[in-house]
Amino acid sequence: MVSSLIGCNMYDVVVIGAGPAGANAAIDAHDHGLRVLLIDEGRDAGGQVWRPKSGSILKASVTSIERKGNQLREHLQKSEVKRKFETRVWHIEKSDNGGWIVGLSGPDDEKQVTSRTVIIATGAQERIIPVNGWTLPGVLGLAGSTALMKENLLPPHGRSIVAGTGPLVFYVASEIQRLGGNVTAISTLNSKLDWCKALPSMILKPRLLFQGLCWVLSLYLKRIPIFWRTGIITIEGENAVEGVTITKVDKDWAPKKDHQRYIPCESVCYGQGLLPEISASRLTGADHYYDEKLGGWVPTIDDLGRTSEKGIYACGDNAGILGVTVAPISGKRAAQAVIEDLKGENPGAGQSNLKMMQKFGRAMTVLNIPRSGLIKFIDDETEICRCEGITKRDIDHEIAHGAQSHNAVKSGTRCGMGPCGGRFCMDTVAMLTAHHTSKTREEIGLPTARPPLRPVILDTLSGDLDYDDLPIPGVSPL
Amino acid sequence: MNKGAVSQVQRSEKISFQFDGIDMDAYEGETIAAALFRAEVSHLRDAPNSKNPRGLFCVMGVCQECVVSVDGKIVEACRTNVSDGLIVNRVQYV
């Protein structure tokens, strides 16, 4: 890392991510006398699930989800935890003294901090299966549309189709209606039977079950059609969304091509669940493993969130998609581990009904596990890598010529080398590789972890360097 | 249609900015992405390779689809607040 950077501060704990897991971890660590720095790229704490409203909204009704976010933000305010918002972590590396150096890119001058430990609470990102037309303006990620609505109270334009898997489909549709938008249809890959199977675990959290039923009921009352066991196979439009074609699927979620229906619309909100955001934990060198019931690749952690790297802890959805009911406890437990390791104290964080909440979270994640037939939704011409414009045909060609890993596909095609850092194509590349080579996801592995974790302005990397100070050697004689 | 939740929303003062030379309204404190979304400007740029149109997608600073040009710098419209008189342009790839 750049050595010329000044203003280093030694913390006991740097917490990356101020969602329900990270913020609770920071508060607990601070309460036990540790020097804590909480970092988040957002404007305030809450993460995506408890995302705060934009500063432009002076007054509006408060939903129960938002109330929880407000409580967290108030709690954080009172606790006086040191925090940096609108600040991104772009690098993490071991320092010579056994601690960790965290590279920052934010509004202030502090470009890096050092810390004895790092709690990673980076949450999740969306899994979106590429289909023809998914790059058109008017297509939003399912979680993306919740971000837009929570922050701005703006529903998607015109007639919306909400599609995908899991509970988010129903939440998004009911929010669009609540905010005055127009949901024209819901298409979910799940069957009613999938939901019946989830019911025993959902009963463990009756309030959440009731909330979910209210979403669905509100949609039934508005007579919004719900197409079960269907998925979007094409999004049509010239320069923006004009409609979608949905198709019935079989039990493996493979499209049944003779059962299709065209629905005109102006907006599409779609996604197939969440993936743990592990790029930060991978950069530290910590071990990871694949568990589809946890959303995919997750860091190997002990009961409290210690990873295989000394001083690195993980909590919240990036340690396994278990949702917002588990995240605060998981954060508190990571703080407990840090307190034990640094101070030798046992603060005894709450274990109360953690198992029950995990069971609920897992039941929701299971609804999103991609099935083998999904791959048939992707057309040869579909752009899989949105940044570089790499199609399924390009990737299939690379795999047919011997590529059996992300790195091989990447070096052959540039797939995953664009500004998003492969976050929206890598899972699909692994699905395709698994499909063509019969390798397991574990065998396929992951691409090499590299900084920057987020696009970073070159000034941040170059520090105080002035190009005019660079010595320019004279022209050498031929 | 239920307009209940939105009709009670009170927003900040209106300001104006420019997107590709066209005057646009925004509310102080919202992002460029939100202001453009309200104005139903969904086409934010063309992809550098395939040249096909792109717009707001992940809304959380990951996908980089909503990048726009402000003062010659590429910024994520979904994470950058609009300000009065701000000049925003579509990113031009060469």
Tell me: the pLDDT tens digits for A114-134?
999 999 999 999 999 999 999
Chain A residues in contact with B32 by the CB 8 A cut-off are none
Best B32, B63, B79, B83 member to test A by mutation, with max A CBs in 10 Å, is: B63
pLDDT bucket at B54, cuts 50 / 70 / 90: very high
For residue B90, pLDDT over 60 is answered with yes
In this structure, the number of other CB atoms found within 10 A of the CB of residue A319 comes to 29
Gap from A365 CA to chain B (nearest CA, Å): 20
Spell out the CATH class of A128-272.
alpha beta
For residue A6, pLDDT over 60 is answered with no
B59/A454 Cβ within 8 A = no
B27/A147 Cβ within 8 A = no
B63/A58 Cβ within 8 A = no
What's the CA gap between A235 and B41, in Å, rounded? 19
Gap from B60 CA to chain A (nearest CA, Å): 7
More confident residue, A447 or A352: A447
Tell me: the pLDDT tens digits for A132-163?
999 999 999 999 999 999 999 999 999 999 99
Gap from B78 CA to chain A (nearest CA, Å): 9
Nearest CA in chain A to B64: A420
Burial (Cβ within 10 Å: 0-12, 13-18, ≥19) of residue A32: middle
Gap from B52 CA to chain A (nearest CA, Å): 8
Taking all residues of chain B, what is their mean pLDDT, rounded to a whole number?
Answer: 92
Q: Which domain holds residue B26?
A: 13-89
pLDDT score at A172 = 97
- Mean of pLDDT values over A328-337: 96
More confident residue, A397 or A467: A397
For residue A204, pLDDT over 50 is answered with yes
For residue A448, pLDDT over 70 is answered with yes
- Mean of pLDDT values over A280-284: 97
pLDDT score at A351 = 63
Best A51, A56, A63, A218 member to test B by mutation, with max B CBs in 10 Å, is: A56
- Mean of pLDDT values over A30-36: 97
Spell out the CATH class of A10-125+275-365.
alpha beta
Measured CA to CA in angstroms, residue A214 lies from A51, A170, A183 at distances of 22, 10, 16
Chain A residues in contact with B37 by the CB 8 A cut-off are 148, 152, 154, 157
Q: Which residues in chain A (2-61) have CB-CB distances under 8 A to chain B?
A: 41, 48, 54-61
- Helix then strand count (H, E) for chain B reads 2, 8
Say what angle helices A392-400 and A426-437 make with each other, to 10 degrees.
40
pLDDT score at A332 = 96
pLDDT score at A470 = 80
| ipTM for this model | 0.94
Q: Tell me the whole-structure pTM to 2 decimals.
A: 0.93
pLDDT score at B72 = 87
For residue A460, pLDDT over 80 is answered with no
B6/A141 Cβ within 8 A = no
> Which H/E stretch holds residue A124?
strand A124-126
* Of residues A54, A145, A387, nearest to B29 (C-beta): A54
Q: Which residues in chain A (63-92) have CB-CB distances under 8 A to chain B?
A: 86
Q: Which CATH number fits domain A378-444: 1.10.10.1100, 3.50.50.60, 3.40.50.300, 2.60.40.10?
A: 1.10.10.1100
Nearest CA in chain A to B58: A144
Taking all residues of chain A, what is their mean pLDDT, rounded to a whole number?
Answer: 93
For residue A24, pLDDT over 90 is answered with yes
Best B14, B16, B46, B60 member to test A by mutation, with max A CBs in 10 Å, is: B60
Gap from A238 CA to chain B (nearest CA, Å): 9
Query: Which amino acid does the sequence have at A433?
Result: T
Chain B residues in contact with A454 by the CB 8 A cut-off are 61
- Mean of pLDDT values over A38-62: 95
Within-domain flag for B41: yes
More confident residue, A258 or B13: B13
Gap from B47 CA to chain A (nearest CA, Å): 7
A387/B58 Cβ within 8 A = no
Question: What is the distance between the terminal CA atoms of chain B, rounded to a whole angstrom?
Answer: 46
Tell me: the pLDDT tens digits for A238-252?
999 999 999 999 999
pLDDT bucket at A46, cuts 50 / 70 / 90: very high
H helices within A179-296, ranges in order? 192-202, 206-221, 279-283
Beta strands A36-39 and B73-76, pairing class: unpaired
What's the CA gap between A347 and A6, in Å, rounded? 35
**CB–CB contacts below 8 A, A to B:** 150
Gap from B17 CA to chain A (nearest CA, Å): 15
* Cβ pair A28, A133 in contact under 8 A: no
Chain A residues in contact with B31 by the CB 8 A cut-off are 54, 151-152
Burial (Cβ within 10 Å: 0-12, 13-18, ≥19) of residue A80: exposed
Within-domain flag for B2: no
Say what angle helices A142-152 and A168-178 make with each other, to 10 degrees.
30
pLDDT score at A474 = 78
Tell me: the pLDDT tens digits for A407-442?
999 999 999 999 999 999 999 999 999 999 999 999
pLDDT bucket at B2, cuts 50 / 70 / 90: very low
Within-domain flag for B94: no
- Mean of pLDDT values over A171-199: 96
What's the CA gap between A316 and A357, in Å, rounded? 13
> What's the token pair of residue B24?
């646009």
pLDDT score at A1 = 45
For chain B, the domain total comes to: 1
Beta strands A243-249 and A88-94, pairing class: unpaired
Chain A residues in contact with B39 by the CB 8 A cut-off are none
Gap from B85 CA to chain A (nearest CA, Å): 17
B8/A148 Cβ within 8 A = no
Tell me: the pLDDT tens digits for A340-356?
999 988 877 666 678 88
pLDDT score at B4 = 55
Identify the three-state secondary structure at position A144: helix
For residue A268, pLDDT over 80 is answered with yes
CB-based contact, A310 to chain B, within 8 Å: no
Nearest CA in chain A to B44: A137
> CATH number for the domain including B29?
3.10.20.440
pLDDT score at A182 = 97
Among A168, A165, A144, A128, CA closest to A424: A128
Domain with CATH 3.50.50.60 in chain A: 10-125+275-365, 128-272
For residue A209, pLDDT over 80 is answered with yes
